[in-house]
Amino acid sequence: MWQCMEIRGARVFCDGAFHDIPVFVDGDRFVSEASFFLHTAGRPIDILDGTGLLLLPGLTDIHMHGAVFADVTDADAESLHRLLRYEAACGVTQLLATTLSLPDETLAKALSEIGSIVKKGGVANGAWLAGIHLEGPYLSETKRGAHDARFIKSASVEHFCYLNRLAGHAIRIISLAPETDGALDFMRDVRDDVRLSLAHTSADYDTASMAFAAGASHVTHLFNAMPPLHHREPGVIGAALLHDDVSVELIADGVHVHPAVISAVFRMFPGRVCLVSDSMRATGCGDGTFDLGGQKVTVSQNRATLADGRIAGSTTHLFDCLRHAVSCGIALETAIYAASEYPAARIGILNEAGTVKAGRRANFILAEPDLTIRHVFVNGQETDPGLRSSAG
């Protein structure tokens, strides 16, 4: 058990750049050097040699559905615990559990289970479950992607409040289609309670612009499940580009978006990109057949598809998405910011995690310069490295 720890010799990423500085941990928090030596006098101090390594903030995945055979909507505590430990071992130290369009009773049960884990503060050696991303059921049937059309419905304040009560008010993001019945009025009513994101939508530019005026400030998995950017029909992407307060998600898994588009998005939306995984239960499990919201998904060579060929989420955790973004030419510093600090800020947890600063949770990664992970710490405790190569 680590108690008081000094990490020496690593190149530390903070404030947007790498610095050759020591890092101090007291219990579960980063602390300043002065505070560390003031409060650790007479206590044993562990020295961790980080020479030749990069020290990165633990990653923040605001859009992930599952991994290691577990889906966040399984309503099974043991499965959720296994998922959280796997994610932590892979460098994802805080995340939002992301739902699907499901029957109300199934979704209600899942939200209650997730909400209980959020309230308890998580699981030992697991990623911090910081809340819920409600993706569906308020989507467009024509752009539903892997969501089951039977369970898609119009947004209503009453329905959302019912779900949020069951979740212990842990819902931080709602993904919805603004062109559906009642969606714009719904946005105006709940905009102060949750971050609103445009998703699975056929909205044109004008409708998307009205949605941003109504309170939306985020776009779910940019380019996927929405009209493409066209010079006469700019759509959601064009509207987001012209609204500087709008953040965008990007799935850099090597399947959802072409490498050239990954590079273009970072140029189009400087400082506004949240890298996400959109991972489903097949992540960490190899090829095979899996379930996603009651639908059969086939995974082959990292590509997950439904029977009709539609992409059904990803099988890649966020740290691998970060690696892929860097391989596409994105500066390492830019990619780290997009996978840690910025998404943490967008869901309101930056005072707790997402950066290596005094007072924050001691969630961090030690990696080789080629981004091979050597150690991951959550709340000042090292995770099980064996989970990175095993589905448990």
Residues marked active site are found at 278
Lowest mean pLDDT among 52-66, 146-160, 299-313, 314-328: 299-313
* Highest mean pLDDT: which range of 110-124, 255-269, 279-293: 255-269
Q: What is the pLDDT of residue 387?
A: 79
- 390 pLDDT above the threshold of 60: no
In angstroms, rounded to a whole number, what is the distance separating the alpha carbons of residues 137 and 177?
A: 10
Domain 4-55+358-390 classification at class level: mainly beta
Residue 146 scores a pLDDT above 90: no
Is the pLDDT at 389 greater than 80? The verdict is no
Q: Please give the structure tokens belonging to residue 259.
A: 């490498």
For the cut 70, the answer to whether the pLDDT of residue 1 exceeds it is no
Whether 109 shows a pLDDT value over 60: the answer reads yes
pTM (predicted TM-score)? 0.96
Q: Give the pLDDT score at 392.
A: 39
Give the pLDDT confidence of 202-233 residue by residue, as tens digits: 999 999 999 999 999 999 999 999 999 999 99
Report residue 60's pLDDT band, with 50, 70 and 90 as the boundaries.
Answer: very high
List pLDDT tens digits, range 71-83. Answer: 999 999 999 999 9
- Express each pLDDT in 228-281 by its tens digit: 999 999 999 999 999 999 999 999 999 999 999 999 999 999 999 999 999 999
Helix (H) or strand (E) holding 138: none
CB atoms within 10 A of CB 258: 12
Provide the 10 A C-beta neighbour count for residue 153: 15
Band of pLDDT at residue 391, cut at 50, 70 and 90: very low
What proportion of the chain, given as a percentage, has pLDDT over 90?
A: 87
The whole-number average pLDDT for the span 313-339 is 97
The pLDDT tens digits for 330-365 are: 999 999 999 999 999 999 999 999 999 999 999 999
Kindly list the domain boundaries of the chain, sorted by start residue.
4-55+358-390, 59-346
The domains spanning 4-55+358-390 and 59-346 adopt the same CATH topology:
no
Is pLDDT larger for residue 63 or for residue 311? 63
- Tens of pLDDT, residue by residue over 166-182, are 999 999 999 999 999 99
Whether residue 273 contacts residue 240, with contact meaning beta carbons closer than 8 Å, is answered with no
- CATH for 59-346 is 3.20.20.140
CA-based nearest residue to 292, from 76, 134, 148, 120: 148
| Distances 129 to 115, 224, 278, 293 between C-alpha atoms, Å | 9, 25, 16, 21
Label the pairing between strands 247-251 and 216-219.
parallel
% pLDDT > 70, the chain: 98
Give 27-38 pLDDT, tens digit per residue.
999 999 999 888
| Widest CA span in the chain | 69
From the list 374, 388, 368, the residue with the least C-alpha distance to 11 is 368
Q: Please compute the mean of the pLDDT values over residues 304-329 and round it to a whole number.
A: 94
